[in-house]
Structures are given as C-alpha cells and as structure tokens.
Amino acid sequence: MLLLMINTFSYADRHIFSILIPDIKADFGVSDSVLGLISGPGFILSYVLVTLPLARWGDQWSRRGVVAISAALWSIASAACGVATTIVQMASARVLVGVGEAGAMHSSQAMVSGMFSERTRARALGVLTSSTYIGMLVGLTGGAAIAGVWGWRAAFVALSLPGALLAIVLWLSGPGQEKHATPSSTGKGQISWLAAIRLFYATPSLRYLALGVGVFNIFGYAGATWLPAFLVRSHGLSVVETGLWMGVGSAVGGVVGSLISGILVDISRRHDEIWQLRIPAMGLLLTFPLTVTTFLLTGGLTLELFGFAIPVVVFLMLCTSFLSALWAAPAYGAIARLIPPQQRAQAAGIMIVIINVVGSMLGPPVAGIVSDILGREFHGDSMRYSLLSMSVLILVGGLLTWKASAHYRRDLADAA
C-alpha cells in the first residue's frame, strides 16, 4: 500500500503539468511547441539518463532507500514549479522532477516481485501499476480543482506535499531488501549496465515488448499531455471539467484494466504461457479503433449513464484507458519471470528507459509541433487532427507486442 501511494503521487506530479498547460501558457505567453518540449524532452531526458544508475543502485544498495530519496527529490522539484517566475525556471524544475521520478517504479516493482510468489505476482504488480491511473486522477482532477480556487501555482505546491511525507514514512518503515536479491545468495551475481542491456536485448520477447510499448507510448504520452487541451479546444469543456472527466475516466478505466490484467494473466497462463503477453497485445489492438472514433466525434454529444449526462468522448476515453492499461502488469510480470531476482530493478529500468526514449521524448513535442502547423488550417481543432494522425502508432505498438508474445514460450524455457 505504501508503494502504491508513493507511485500514485509520482504520477500525479508528472501529469499535473498537462492540466495546467492553459494557465501556464497564458501566464508565460509561450507556444504549444515550447510547452511540448518542456513536457516531453525537458522531463524525459533527465528521467532517462538517471533511470539505469538508480536501478542498479537499488539492486546493489537499497530499493527502499532509492525510492524514498527519489520521492523527496521530485516532491521538492514539483513545488519549485509552483514558484517559478520564468519559463526557464519552470523547465529547470521539470528536469529535476524527472530526475526524482526516475528512481520510483523499477525499484518498487522489484520489491513487489520479491514479496509475492509467481502464482500471485501478476495481480500484485497489477495493483502497483494501477498507481499510473490513480495518479492521473489525483494530478488531473486534484490539480484542476486546486487551480480553479487558488491558482495553478498552488496546485503544484499542494500536490508535492504528500510525496515528501510518504518519502519519510518509507525510509523509516518500508519493506527491506529481500534476501534472495543479494549477489551472495545466487550464482548469478550483479552484472554491469552493459551486460544487463545485452541480456535484455538477447531476449526476443522483451526486445519486441519494449519496442511495441514504446511505439504505443509515442501516442500515449502525447495524449497524456495534450488530451486536456483537445477537450478544452474541440469540445468546449472547462479546465475543471476536463480535469474531472479525464481524471475519473483514466482512473476507472486504467485501474480496472491494471487489476483485471493481472488476474487474467494469473489464470490464463496456467493453460498457455503465451497469454502473459498476448493479453497486452490484444488490449492495444482493440484500443486503436476506439481511439480513432474518439477524435472523429463532434463536440456536444452526451450519453445518459446512471442518471448522468456523460460526454461520449469521455466514455470512449474510459474504454481506451481500460484496454490500453492491460499491458503494464503482464509486461513487468514477464520481466520478473525471465530475469534473475538480483537483476530485476535493472531490467525494469531498461524497459522504462526504452519506453520513455521512444515514447515520451517524441510524443508531446511532435503533437505540439504538428498542432502548431495544422493551426493555420484547423485553428482550434488543430490538436484533434494532430492526435488523430498519431493514433496509428497504437496499431503498430499492438502488432509488435503480438510478435513479442510469439517468442515468450521459448524465452521462458531458456530462462528456466
């Protein structure tokens, strides 16, 4: 539960920037391209550069310590975003947020993998990875609500406080390093970063899986950054409404998808191991047509559900959140089964680096640049067509993940 809460605020501090883009843009007077660079490369470059060193540090020293120190750092940096007086200061603070968040998920996953047996591990990882979507709910909905009352600067500061407090609690009382993760407990001791990368690359299912999810996340990270702007510009929702609908939709769909994926994998792989990665592939492939439909919808369409008038675009986003969330728990569960215990944080770190290099580095800035170009013709609808054009990447990512599943049985036998 403690790791779930810490990673929730990691993602909350990451996603709050996107819901505050309209206010930040108005305050600093910058373009979509500049904001896309801050949200994408400005955050991800630092995130990627320190992920593997922190993952190795976690394997060698203390995963609990790495997560606690990282949480304290990103919380301080996120608060600094709220007091920035220039766009350069804002960009610098986001770089430091990236450094802090680079130490959270891989070591958290390694701790969870060590605490649960192979029979229930996928479900436990599903709970942990649901933090992605709970964090989006907290960041988007909470950030929008706070900004609506006290302004965007207060939103950054307010959401940074829980992470700092949780860092202290984890440092003092979190789970220790599991005994089988130490080099002395197995014949396969610690290996260098380069050897860990070679081992990861030499495993075809992991290679195609990382590439597939990375390609999907070119769109995924673009959407996480720019969907609020799309809903405001193309569907006329307010910032508060956007934060509420996106936060709730992502949380409900994403959390349920994460939890269901772990249960499905734990059950279905007893019949055939291929389902460990076939389920993520099917989720991405089914996401594609629904996403295209989302961006072709006209504004103002609503759906009566449980007595509430829900925008149809929001309902579709809830469905795509569910389907696209099916990849995370099975993917990191596959790493735990294919990689020796004392190298799991490094392997998870490699996956995270590949996903973010391919996805986050390209997604937000490309979407922002394309939107600026299309703005001459489509004006307020430019982000709609920017994201629509990028949605084909979901299909490509799903096909690559399907290819990964075809190699999984043999890789699992080789790892035994």
Residues 6+ away with beta carbon under 8 Å from 209? 277, 280, 331, 334, 351, 400, 401, 404
What distance in Å separates the CA atoms of residue 302 and residue 332, rounded to the nearest whole number?
37
Q: Coil, strand or helix: which one is 305?
A: strand
Look at domain 2-174+190-415 and name its CATH class.
mainly alpha
Residues of the chain with pLDDT under 70: 174-191
pLDDT number for residue 166: 94
Which ranges of 61-192 would DSSP assign to H, the alpha helix? Answer: 63-82, 87-101, 105-115, 121-129, 131-137, 143-150, 152-173
pTM, two decimal places:
0.76
**DSSP one-letter string for 28-64:** HT--HHHHHHHHTHHHHHHHHHHHHHHHHHHHHT-HH
Tokens of 38: 């801050």
Q: pLDDT of 315-345, one tens digit each?
A: 899 899 999 999 988 998 898 889 888 788 8
Query: CB under 8 Å to 28, separation ≥6 — which residues?
Result: 86, 87, 90
What kind and span of H or E run contains 302? strand 302-305
The full set of domain ranges for the chain reads 2-174+190-415
Res 183: pLDDT: 42
CA atoms of 202 and 200, how far apart (whole Å): 5
| Signed CA dihedral, 365, 369, 374, 376: sign only | positive
**What is the identity of the amino acid at 155?**
A
Q: What is residue 358's predicted lDDT score, i.e. its pLDDT?
A: 79
Summarised one tens digit per residue, pLDDT across range 118-137 is: 778 878 888 898 888 888 88
